[in-house]
Amino acid sequence: MEEKPSAATGLQPIRCKAAVCRKPGEPLVIEEISVAPPMAREVRIRIICTSLCHTDISVWKLKDPLGIVPRILGHEAFGVVEGVGEDVNEVKEGDTVIPTFMADCGDCEDCLSNNSNLCSKFPFSMSSVMPRHGTSRFTDLNGEVIHHFLYVSSFSEYTVVDVAYVIKVDPAIPPNRACLLSCGVATGVGAAWKTANVKKGSTVAIFGLGSIGLAVAEGARLCGASRIIGIDINPDKFEVAKKFGVTELLNSGRLEDKSVSQVINEMTGGGADYCFECVGMASLVQEAFACCRQGWGKTIVLGVEKPGAILSLNFFDILLRGKTIMGSLYGGLKPKSDIHTLIKWYTEKKLELDKFVTHEIGFGDINEAFDLLIEGKCLRCVIWMNK
């Protein structure tokens, strides 16, 4: 498809600063780049703030063939629409928006159904180009193409996002809280609320107490779970977990001759109603499935394993025990409707987003955010573009 500037708006390329991943696992390079005008059904956004997610770190470490460089990472953000391409009616210049990695086109069978949040028109992928036109909007000052990440690429003062991935939000919500809803916190809360549909008075077991696991705990608390059991190998996380509604804690590294599933089954008298795997290990998914209650227990998988990982389950556990296992991408949330509910809960002081932000830094110190998250010293580090 031939690329042309957006004649409808007369927009021109913008030069701005971006933190570019030039080599896998090496510090990001802050450099001046060029951001092209949006094409049809695309939006150019001025990023106000962004936050760092473990997915950014995982991809930052990847080498060939999956580690595509140069690339602009980042997918949790809040910004202001700077300009729009042709045929964009959903947002206009000056609107405050949250970009997401999940499309919500509003047209396909899945987006029109209440049964799924997986858009079939723009299915999830780790693509390095724009979803509708198949090209990049970023180049360095030598004209070299810089690749996109998860359709957002928020580690740049300006980015271009397809309108299917853009949610218009109330400007009254603080940017450093709104950006959390682009991925991690929304994923965890949504997994408890939408995917599992946690019932009041139920028992929940959470494998992994990182930011995703704690967001699950927050969601389970909002749904009225009576017991929220947190499992982690690092006891340093336990005091923090209590602030998110975790009622019981289990150190999986100190169980002697018993497995985690055995202990959970004993603690709950037959298994938890809902088990959430938030680490990304096939072996932990098996443990979670082994300790969700027969007859109605649900195991929800949120963690991301390495590509090609195989999950092995006992055939008769599925046939005879009546358990359910399911994946949860973006917590089962439909971005353009459910995110507004989460914002409403935040403004009503039900959803406690403030607890997730442990650090805030300026854009020039973005590599410090990587260090903090890798060392386990933060939950979410918000990066302000103008500081």
**CATH number of 247's domain:** 3.40.50.720
Q: Looking at the structure, do residues 99 and 174 belong to the same domain, yes or no?
A: yes
Segment 279-291 shows an average pLDDT of: 96
Cβ atoms of 151 and 162 within 8 Å: the answer is yes
Q: How far apart are CA 194 and CA 309, in angstroms?
A: 26
Segment 270-296 shows an average pLDDT of: 96
If one compares 387 and 203, the residue with the highest pLDDT of the two is 203
Band of pLDDT at residue 6, cut at 50, 70 and 90: very low
Q: Looking at the structure, do residues 197 and 305 belong to the same domain, yes or no?
A: yes
Is pTM, for the whole model, over 0.85? yes
Band of pLDDT at residue 1, cut at 50, 70 and 90: very low
What is the gyration radius of the CA atoms in the chain, in angstroms? 21
Report helix, strand or coil for 266. helix
Q: Looking at the structure, do residues 253 and 374 belong to the same domain, yes or no?
A: no
Q: Looking at the structure, do residues 353 and 309 belong to the same domain, yes or no?
A: no
Sequence-distant (6+) residues with CB within 8 A of 135 are: 3, 129
Q: Looking at the structure, do residues 76 and 194 belong to the same domain, yes or no?
A: no
Segment 137-148 shows an average pLDDT of: 97
Domain of residue 316 covers 188-329
Q: How far apart are CA 64 and CA 68, in angstroms?
A: 7
What pLDDT digit, counting tens, does each position of 109-127 carry? 999 999 999 999 999 998 9
Task: Provide the 10 A C-beta neighbour count for residue 2.
Answer: 4
Nearest to 287 by CA among 256, 257, 261, 252: 261
Cis bond upstream, residue 131 (ω within 30): no
Q: Looking at the structure, do residues 231 and 197 belong to the same domain, yes or no?
A: yes
Q: How far apart are CA 170 and CA 253, in angstroms?
A: 44
- pLDDT value for 9: 59
Band of pLDDT at residue 8, cut at 50, 70 and 90: very low
Q: Is residue 196 part of a domain?
A: yes
Q: Is residue 145 part of a domain?
A: yes
**CATH number of 367's domain:** 3.90.180.10
Q: Looking at the structure, do residues 311 and 193 belong to the same domain, yes or no?
A: yes
Q: Looking at the structure, do residues 251 and 278 belong to the same domain, yes or no?
A: yes
Q: Is residue 268 part of a domain?
A: yes
What pLDDT digit, counting tens, does each position of 239-275 carry? 999 999 999 999 999 998 999 999 999 999 999 999 9
Q: Is residue 119 part of a domain?
A: yes
- pLDDT value for 67: 81
Q: Looking at the structure, do residues 306 and 204 belong to the same domain, yes or no?
A: yes
For residue 24, pLDDT beyond 60 = yes
What pLDDT digit, counting tens, does each position of 58-110 carry? 999 987 666 899 999 999 999 999 999 999 999 999 999 999 999 999 999 99
Cβ atoms of 69 and 25 within 8 Å: the answer is no
Angle formed by the axes of helices 260-268 and 282-290, nearest 10°: 30
Sequence-distant (6+) residues with CB within 8 A of 84 are: 6, 9, 38, 42, 43, 44, 91, 92, 93, 163
Report helix, strand or coil for 84. strand
Segment 363-385 shows an average pLDDT of: 96
Domain count, the chain: 2
Band of pLDDT at residue 305, cut at 50, 70 and 90: confident
Q: Is residue 294 part of a domain?
A: yes
Q: What is the mean pLDDT of the chain?
A: 95
Structure tokens of 282?
């096939």
Q: Is residue 239 part of a domain?
A: yes
* H or E stretch at 112: helix 109-112
Structure tokens of 148?
């996109």
What pLDDT digit, counting tens, does each position of 191-227 carry? 999 999 999 999 999 999 999 999 999 999 999 999 9
Q: How far apart are CA 352 and CA 283, in angstroms?
A: 31
Q: Is residue 57 part of a domain?
A: no
For residue 318, pLDDT beyond 90 = no
Segment 315-330 shows an average pLDDT of: 92
Cα diameter, the chain: 69
Q: Looking at the structure, do residues 291 and 351 belong to the same domain, yes or no?
A: no
Band of pLDDT at residue 317, cut at 50, 70 and 90: confident
Q: Is residue 53 part of a domain?
A: no
Q: Looking at the structure, do residues 227 and 201 belong to the same domain, yes or no?
A: yes
